[in-house]
A and B are shown apart, each in its own frame.
Chain A
Amino acid sequence: MIQTSEIKRVFDENDVVLIKSSINVYTKSILELVNFGLENDKVIFYISATVPSTVFKTIFESTGIAHDNIYFIDCTTYSFDITQDPNIIVVESPTMLETIIIKIMYLHKISKQKMPDKSPMIIVDSANSLSIHNDLGILSEFFHVLITMVRPTGAKLAILTIMEQLTEDLSHTLELISDTVLTE
């Protein structure tokens, strides 16, 4: 599991962090990350491409994590039913990468209106899942554009990967766009 002190150290020094986590502790690593974000006055934009956002909402609830400041961009649920939840935005498909970028910028704008002091922490869960639906070229371009657009907002970006499922190509592409790598 990633230690909180390690998370703090890397995000103090970097904006874009590639996190390689073992599948056994993957959820725990996410919880650590989310906790770190909330404790450090961040508003969290959580991109769900692996597990539906509702599942994580339930997990956060059961572990006592206050989730008012967590917004989900969910591209796993092909239904608009959950759009009733003001903290969940549905993107119809994980291939609509531009739409994900726009939703992030949208969330940034509305959270700035509500909480002008908080800057975003964007968690991508996970790059492995996105890479199933998108080729490496477009995925790398997606991260480039995303980083260029969010850097001026003071955002932190955590790109999650499951170590056991990481191909060499994907790993290499993600390392190129990240400021640093955190391996658990």
Chain B
Amino acid sequence: MYNPDRCKTGIGELDSLLNGGIPRGNSVLISGSCGTGKTTLSLEFLIHGVENGEKGLYISATEISSKVMKNMVPFQFFREEYFDSGKIKIMDIPNIYSKLNLKKLEFEQEDIDRLVNYIGEIVKNDGIKRIAVDSLTSICYRLRTEEKIRDFIIKFEEIVSKMGGTALMISELLPNAKGYSQYGVEEAVADGIILLGNLKRRGDLLRTLQIIKMRGTSHSRAEYVMDITPLGIMLSPLLKGWTVNQ
């Protein structure tokens, strides 16, 4: 059933775990260590958006966007024409920085404002409804202090919610990290957190997905096993192995 208040991710069973999708206007942290599927999830989210008539913006900071695209070719959900036709806009962060003449290693307040305003203009002019920032962590490197990170995220979130859009902000974790973000601020100001991880079980390494928080909806809090299939991300409940007959 279509619910205008919810943004369907289109990913496997994630929408039902979210009770219908991400509440529109939310900016959600996708946290995980390297190779856990953050980029795949983000692009699946954007491509599904186009199928729902929602334009997307992919802000790429860590990998060259052409390389990211190439990795997506094997997936059945991938639609190159969405990128070619501009239904999903791709922006490489280094290009944005040079365009805005942001050269400093540590941004000042006015740099933050220019960056946010620049993104805001594009979102407004192109009528963008879904954004993926891959990754937020790499932008945070240039912000350095908690105050600036908080300021940037809150301003970014304002743009997203004003547009009635939905954003995924990728948070890169170290393999043994405790929280959900590198500076700690990100997880506090984000509207939601979806954690991608690895679970070691008797020599197997399983991919996992868990919704940690999501403002504006009830949701599953259980850990799910995730698999990256040619159809995209798919989920199964994690079996706990309670023992019968004991």
CB contacts (< 8 Å) of B202 on chain A: these are 95
CB contacts (< 8 Å) of A105 on chain B: these are 234, 236
CB contacts (< 8 Å) of A103 on chain B: these are 227, 229
A85 contacts the other chain (CB 8 A):
no
- Which of B225, B227, B244 sits near A136, CB closer than 8 Å? B244
B237 contacts the other chain (CB 8 A):
yes
**A135-B241 in contact given A95-B201, A102-B229, A106-B229 (Cβ < 8 Å):** yes
Q: Mark A80-102, 1 if CB is under 8 A from B, else 0.
A: 00000000000011011111011
Q: How many A residues touch the partner, as a band? A: 20 to 34
Q: Mark A109-152, 1 if CB is under 8 A from B, else 0.
A: 11000000000000000000000001111101110010001000
Name 7 extra pairs, CB < 8 A, besides A92-B204, A145-B236: A95-B201, A99-B225, A99-B236, A137-B241, A145-B237, A145-B239, A173-B245
B238 contacts the other chain (CB 8 A):
yes
Q: Are B235 and A102 within 8 A (Cβ)?
A: yes
Q: Mark B193-208, 1 if CB is under 8 A from A, else 0.
A: 0000000011110100
| Nearest CB of B to A124, in Å | 15
A169 contacts the other chain (CB 8 A):
yes
| Nearest CB of B to A150, in Å | 12
Number of A-B contacts (CB under 8 A): 66
Q: Mark B205-246, 1 if CB is under 8 A from A, else 0.
A: 010000000000000000001010111001111111111110
Q: Are B245 and A102 within 8 A (Cβ)?
A: no
CB contacts (< 8 Å) of A102 on chain B: these are 225, 227, 229, 234-236
| Nearest CB of A to B146, in Å | 38
**A141-B240 in contact given A95-B201, A96-B204 (Cβ < 8 Å):** yes
| Nearest CB of A to B160, in Å | 31
Q: Are A169 and B245 within 8 A (Cβ)?
A: yes
- Which of A95, A101, A137 sits near B243, CB closer than 8 Å? A137
In the assembled complex, the Cα of A149 lies from the Cα of B13 at a distance in Å of 11
**A98-B237 in contact given A93-B204, A110-B231 (Cβ < 8 Å):** yes
In the assembled complex, the Cα of A184 lies from the Cα of B241 at a distance in Å of 31
14 A-B residue pairs with CB within 8 Å: A92-B204, A96-B204, A98-B225, A99-B227, A101-B236, A102-B235, A102-B236, A103-B227, A106-B229, A110-B231, A136-B245, A140-B244, A145-B239, A149-B236
In the assembled complex, the Cα of A169 lies from the Cα of B231 at a distance in Å of 38
Q: Are B206 and A99 within 8 A (Cβ)?
A: yes
Q: Are B239 and A97 within 8 A (Cβ)?
A: yes
Which 10 A/B pairs are nearest by Cβ-Cβ distance? Answer: A138-B241, A98-B225, A137-B243, A98-B236, A102-B227, A101-B236, A106-B229, A141-B239, A137-B241, A102-B234
CB contacts (< 8 Å) of A136 on chain B: these are 243-245
- Which of B231, B239, B244, B245 sits near A106, CB closer than 8 Å? B231
